[in-house]
Structures are given as structure tokens and as C-alpha cells.
């Protein structure tokens, strides 16, 4: 009987996730950056107004074990064509209790070789930015929209994102950070369901299922456009503020 109940529960939860994913309800509300004193009110308001289903009231008891289960379920994934050209799956790295989750587009060459996210030149820049905030990659969680490297680092196709993204969603649901940072257009567009350029999305707090989401430039873009580093730094300071504001 217990086994039946737990199976039913699991099926119900899978169906709820699937329904939510298929109806594209991960689109976020959007607000201009509120002043410090207004941040909590703005978050509460956005949560109330959000068309997205709320996260379950109680956070998961053992996020590390759940992340490990998700990784096991992903297994030697061949759900999309990207499996054919990858060397390693890049699941994600960092603290299961992270206050900040960084989401990038997909693994590049170095990431594909090492099986770790953001370890190439762009990753070194991200590390530097984290250090400047007094954080390390062990304090945060870093992952991508797709977990296998697209050939020649092309942007992932919609069908590839569609099959891979439910795993990312479950990672974020499990970690339940105080703030999500979308690094670049691919992460921002797919988490928010919008298509504006990052330059128009950044500078505002968006919401993913009630969690503040701050879009900023991808570190690879910053390497090519160093003049945008100061804007990205402002975004990181905002992320730091949100992460500390409980
Ligand atoms: S990108 Fe995602 S869905 Fe596609 S093969 Fe890799 S892990 Fe599986």
C-alpha cells in the first residue's frame, strides 16, 4: 500500500512538472530594480501576481541527495542529438544549499573535456567576478540550459532545450536559491520565456516561480566586449544584495 502511495505521488509530481513545462508557464513577471527598502515588498508582490505555479511551501529536506538522484536519472543521456558529439555530460557544480544559482547556455570545449561547467576562459572570468564578491564556486551553484556541448559552440536548438531543460528546472527547484543569475540570452530567454536582448533585460529584477532572477551578460560576451564589464558588475552587486536579503 505504501509503495502504491509513493508511486502515485511520484507520478502526480511528474505530471505536474510536465504540465507546467508544456504550458510554458515558466515565464516571469518583470519589474524595474526596486530600491533596497522596497525589495522585500516587491518580491512578495511579484510572487502574488506571478502566473507561475508556486514552489512547494517546504524546501526539499536533502537537496544533495535529490540532486544526485536527478543526475542518476539523467544517466548516460541520449535524449537529444547533442549526445552524439559530446565527450562528457556537464551536470552542474556547487553547493546544493547555494543562495545563488548561475545558469549559462551550454558547455564549451573545456567544459566538455572536463565535465565541469564554466572552466574555460569565460569560467575564469566568472571565478574572478565571484572572488571580487567574496564568493567561490563552492558557495554557489553553476549549471547550464543544456548539459552537452553543441557542436562548434552553436546556440542549442529549441528541441534540444525542450528535452534537457526539465533537468535544469528540477535542479533549481531542489536548490531553491534566493536568486538566479541568467548568464546570457539563452538562459534568460528560456527561463523567462522572452526574447529581448540581454541589454534590455538586464538592470531589472525578473522572477522565476517567485525567485528573483537577474539577467546579465555571459562571461564569454564580456571577454569580447570588456566595456560591458561595469554593467555586469552592477548586476553582480544586485545579485549579492538579493542573496543576502533573506
Ligand atoms: S543535452 Fe541534455 S537532453 Fe541532450 S543528450 Fe545531453 S543531457 Fe541529454
Interior/surface letters 197-233, b for 16+ CB within 10 angstroms, e for the rest: ebeebbbebbbbbbbbbbbbbbbbbbeeeeebeebbe
Q: Hey, which of 71, 77, 88, 103 would you mutate to test ligand 1's pocket, going by the most ligand atoms within 8 Å of its Cβ?
A: 77
90 CA distance to ligand 1 middle (Å): 9
pLDDT, position 35:
47
Mean pLDDT for all residues in the chain: 85
189 three-class SS: helix
Residue 20: pLDDT above 90?
no
Cell of 194: 522572452
Cell of 88: 562528457
CA separation for the pair 155, 152 (Å, rounded):
9
Higher pLDDT, 35 or 211: 211
Give the model's confidence band at 136: pLDDT under 50 very low, under 70 low, under 90 confident, else very high.
Answer: very high
DSSP H or E run through 206: strand 204-208
Place of cell 544533495: 64
Nearest atom, ligand 1, residue 160 CA? 4
pLDDT, position 41:
54
Per-residue pLDDT tens digits for 111-132: 999 999 999 999 999 999 999 8
Higher pLDDT, 54 or 28: 54
Per-residue pLDDT tens digits for 148-200: 999 999 999 999 999 999 999 999 999 999 999 999 999 999 999 999 999 99
pLDDT, position 133:
85
CA separation for the pair 65, 62 (Å, rounded):
6
104 CA distance to ligand 1 middle (Å): 15
Higher pLDDT, 216 or 20: 216
CA separation for the pair 30, 175 (Å, rounded):
22
pLDDT, position 118:
97
Higher pLDDT, 178 or 20: 178
Cell of 107: 558547455
Domains in the chain: ranges and CATH: 2-244 (3.40.470.10)
* Whether the Cβ atoms of residue 150 and residue 160 lie closer than 8 Å to each other: yes
Residue 37: pLDDT above 90?
no
CA separation for the pair 95, 44 (Å, rounded):
26
Place of cell 522585500: 40
> In the structure, which protein residues have their CB atom closer than 6 angstroms to any atom of ligand 1?
74, 77-80, 82-83, 89, 146-148, 160, 163-164
Cell of 87: 565527450
Residue 239: pLDDT above 90?
yes
pLDDT, position 11:
54
Amino acid at each position: 500500500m505504501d509503495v502504491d502511495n509513493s508511486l502515485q505521488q511520484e507520478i502526480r509530481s511528474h505530471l505536474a512538472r510536465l504540465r507546467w513545462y508544456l504550458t510554458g508557464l515558466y515565464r516571469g513577471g518583470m519589474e524595474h530594480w526596486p530600491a533596497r527598502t522596497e525589495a522585500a515588498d516587491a518580491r512578495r508582490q511579484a510572487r502574488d501576481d506571478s502566473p507561475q505555479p508556486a514552489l512547494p511551501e517546504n524546501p526539499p529536506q536533502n537537496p544533495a541527495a535529490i540532486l544526485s538522484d536527478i543526475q542518476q536519472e539523467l544517466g548516460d543521456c541520449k535524449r537529444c542529438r547533442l549526445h552524439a558529439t559530446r565527450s562528457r555530460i556537464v551536470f552542474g557544480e556547487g553547493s546544493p544549499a547555494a543562495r545563488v544559482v548561475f545558469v549559462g547556455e551550454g558547455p564549451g570545449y573545456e567544459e566538455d573535456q572536463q565535465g565541469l561547467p564554466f572552466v574555460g576562459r569565460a569560467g575564469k572570468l566568472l571565478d574572478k567576478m565571484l572572488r571580487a564578491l567574496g564568493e567561490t564556486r563552492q558557495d554557489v551553484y553553476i549549471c547550464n540550459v543544456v548539459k552537452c556541448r553543441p557542436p562548434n559552440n552553436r546556440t542549442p536548438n529549441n528541441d534540444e532545450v525542450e528535452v534537457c531543460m526539465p533537468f535544469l528546472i528540477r535542479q533549481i527547484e531542489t536548490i531553491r536559491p534566493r536568486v538566479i543569475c541568467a548568464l546570457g540570452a539563452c538562459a534568460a530567454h528560456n527561463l523567462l520565456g522572452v526574447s529581448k536582448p540581454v541589454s534590455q533585460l538586464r538592470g531589472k529584477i525578473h522572477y522565476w516561480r517567485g525567485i528573483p532572477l537577474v539577467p546579465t551578460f555571459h562571461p564569454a560576451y564580456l571577454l569580447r566586449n570588456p566595456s560591458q564589464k561595469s554593467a555586469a558588475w552592477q548586476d553582480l552587486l544586485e545579485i549579492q544584495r538579493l542573496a543576502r536579503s533573506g
